Structure 1
Amino acid sequence: MKRILVVDDDKDISEMVQVILADDYEVECKSEYEGLVDKLKSFDPHLILLDNSLGERSSGDFISELKEITELKAIPIVLFSAHYDIEKVASKVQADDFLAKPFSLDDLHNVLEKHIGE
């Protein structure tokens, strides 16, 4: 079963995504950047759903940090946010893809299929 790590400080969104994907994926959630690299190394996800706005640290800085870690740099990162221009933000921070909040279940499944298949 493929693994997805959801990183979002909105617990309602994290729990919703976890419930929606539970039948097809192993999903774990994290609400902050602290300890995230260790979590990534132990959970070894196939994809990261990363909220653009998470505490004081920018998603771009975190993505840059991940891309420098050999065993983590190949994990696709999908930035998701209610930011009015999330597509531009995702491109700027070199995320692999984006989802605009609110997103449909079809959009969520499509982006997962695109990056990690079923």
Structure 2
Amino acid sequence: MTHKILILDDDSDILFFCTYVFENLGFTVISSNHCNDIIAQVESSQPDIILIDNWIPDIGGVKATQQLKATEHLKHIPVIIFSANSNLPQLAEEAGADDYLRKPFDLEELEGLALKYVKP
């Protein structure tokens, strides 16, 4: 069974890099450069894990994660917030995210964190 990851970041280089990494791990990758209609995006893609940038337009990663975690049929999906913010642990906690990843990150950090929640 192939697992799906939804990656939300407005930086096309990060989307490209993350897509490459996760496809090589055997994931099906869905990506978006915004978090508008986050509930609809997640419902249509049905990911096993979500990686979301804190500074993504329009509402940002914290509010988007809060919306997901407040939605009964979606709250079980692991959400990892990633950002260069110095207060990232507090942001992740405020968002209700399952984990966080500091930018810049290295390949092993990215793979390890995702594989902690989903085995491809």
In the superposition, the TM-score normalised over structure 1's length comes to 0.91
Aligned to 1:87: 89
SS in 2 for 1:22: helix
Asked if 1:40 corresponds to 2:48, the answer is: no
Unpaired runs of 5+ residues, structure 2, are none
**Structure 1 moving runs of 4+ over 3 Å:** none
In the superposition, the TM-score normalised over structure 2's length comes to 0.90
Structure 2 contact 36–59 (Cα < 8 Å) conserved:
no
Number of residue pairs aligned between Structure 1 and Structure 2 = 118
Structure of greater relative contact order (alpha carbons < 8 Å, 6+ residues apart): 2
Aligned to 1:77: 79
1:1-118 matches, within 5 Å, as 1-23=2-24, 24-118=26-120
RMSD over aligned Cα atoms: 1.3
CA separation in 1, counterparts of 2:13 and 2:54? 16
Output the amino acid matched with 1:62: A
Unpaired runs of 5+ residues, structure 1, are none
CA separation in 2, counterparts of 1:97 and 1:63? 11
Structure 2 contact 79–98 (Cα < 8 Å) conserved:
yes
